[in-house]
């Protein structure tokens, strides 16, 4: 948990320096926001997150903007990222209906099967 907090701090810090946006990798966002039962994403989509969690999630996924898709079609990846950011933003702004959009946009398998490199 402590590591996640540090990582989130690092990610928030990097948001302040638009010029160094390349420093945060997709993996960092996954570990900080998506991975695990008590991830920000899980808390927010299950209605267990606080407003602060929703805002952190929205800030965190913004780091995916402009990332090169490790695999698959770049335009398709960009669309998925865009949908995820929009849904997370809407939820952070208090739109409870957007939670279902966030669940769709954040579907792990749909994105991984197309864009996550095979090990
Ligand atoms: C919009 C696309 C997208 C969505 C949605 C997404 N992921 Fe990922 N995820 C990726 C990509 C791309 C990678 C590979 C990153 C790389 O290897 O550089 C990845 C990698 C990961 C990794 C490996 C990190 C590492 O250390 O190598 C984990 C864990 C992960 N995702 C968890 C999740 C979980 C859990 C969800 C759903 C709740 C999720 N992801 C949803 C795109 C996505």
Q: What is the CA radius of gyration of the chain?
A: 13
pLDDT at 109 over 60: yes
> What would the pLDDT profile of 71-83 be if each residue is shown by its tens digit?
999 999 999 999 9
**Measured from the CB, is residue 36 less than 6 Å from ligand 1?**
no
The percentage of residues in the chain with a pLDDT greater than 90, rounded to a whole number, is 79
Q: Rounded to the nearest whole angstrom, what is the distance from the C-alpha of residue 30 to the centroid of ligand 1?
A: 5
Q: Rounded to the nearest whole angstrom, what is the distance from the C-alpha of residue 37 to the centroid of ligand 1?
A: 14
3-state class (DSSP) for residue 72: coil
What is the pTM for the complete model shown?
0.87
Q: Whose CA is nearest to atom 16 of ligand 1?
A: 27
Cβ atoms within 10 Å, residue 91: 25
What local confidence, expressed as pLDDT, does residue 14 receive?
Answer: 53
């Amino acid at each position: 948990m402590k590591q996640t907090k540090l990582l989130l701090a690092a990610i928030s810090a990097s948001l302040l320096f638009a010029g160094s946006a390349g420093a945060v990798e997709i993996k960092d966002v996954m570990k900080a926001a998506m991975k695990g039962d008590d991830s920000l994403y899980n808390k927010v989509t299950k209605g267990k997150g606080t407003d602060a969690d929703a805002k952190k999630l929205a800030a965190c996924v913004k780091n995916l903007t402009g990332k090169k898709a490790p695999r698959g079609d770049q335009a398709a990846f960009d669309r998925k990222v865009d949908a995820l950011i929009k849904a997370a933003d809407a939820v952070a702004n208090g739109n409870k209906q957007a939670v279902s959009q966030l669940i769709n946009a954040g579907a792990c398998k749909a994105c991984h099967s197309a864009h996550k490199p095979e090990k």
